[in-house]
Amino acid sequence: MEHSAQEMAQRIQEIREKMALAAQKAGRCPQEVLLCAASKMQEAETVRTASALNIDLFGENRVQELVEKLQHSAYGEKPVHFIGHLQTNKVKQVVGNVALIQSIGSLHLMEAVEKQAALKEICQPILLQVNIGGEESKSGFAQEDLSEALETAQRFSHLRVEGLMAIPPIRETDEENRRDLANVRRCFERLASQCGQGAEMRWLSMGMSGDFENAILEGANLVRVGTSIFGARNYP
């Protein structure tokens, strides 16, 4: 195990304190911001240990890891979200097994989720992923396509849009980072005014280990933190 429960608990406490300070600085209640522990590349036993600590939920990037950790009951009583790139041929393994799919970044993927949710006779909550920097290396809807994506989603009866998710570009300064995050917030607010039946803009998911404080200052109520909880990942 990379870190003991005590070490992880200390890290989480420090993150919580930073989250609270950022929320207070923004004139917000700290309790309204949820901490998602991004558990990519973490062993099931490490995740099980973390599940007893002061986090709100887990986020998984890889379908195979999600399935394996569910089989080992690694998440305990904590909800789990899917936060990574999702291929349409793996949708079946995710739909119905997570509380929220945060990374819906194309109409094709949205249709695949709707189809699978219909087969399972459930309604799958989702977030629309926006590619705020227009980066070719990242998934997500362009800003100008979000309204169409929301309109399309609201025609489906087996998924429900609950907000936006974004991974802003890496910037050199806090000012540039906050500009991107503020842009995401404006997209969120615009979509909130366009919601009809079948959608409710509840979650603004942005901010990771390097910028979660900025994200909270700009309105995030769901931050995805991995390295600052678990330490640097050991990639194969």
Task: Give residue-wise pLDDT tens across range 92-126.
Answer: 999 999 999 999 999 999 999 999 999 999 999 99
Span 5-230 CATH architecture: Alpha-Beta Barrel (3.20)
pLDDT over threshold 70, residue 22: yes
- Percent share of the chain, pLDDT over 90: 91
CA–CA dist 38, 75 (Å, integer):
12
3 state DSSP class of 182: helix
pTM of the model: 0.96
- Average pLDDT, stretch 140-159? 96
- The residue ranges of every structural domain in the chain are 5-230
Position 66, amino acid:
L
- Antiparallel, parallel or unpaired: β 199-205 and 159-166: parallel
Task: Give residue-wise pLDDT tens across range 50-98.
Answer: 999 999 999 999 999 999 999 999 999 999 999 999 999 999 999 999 9
pLDDT band of 1, cuts 50, 70, 90: very low
CA nearest to 16, candidates 43, 45, 48, 53: 53
CB-neighbour burial class of residue 37 (10 A; exposed 0-12, middle 13-18, buried 19+): buried
pLDDT band of 154, cuts 50, 70, 90: very high
* Percent of residues in the chain assigned helix, strand, coil, to nearest 5: 45, 20, 40
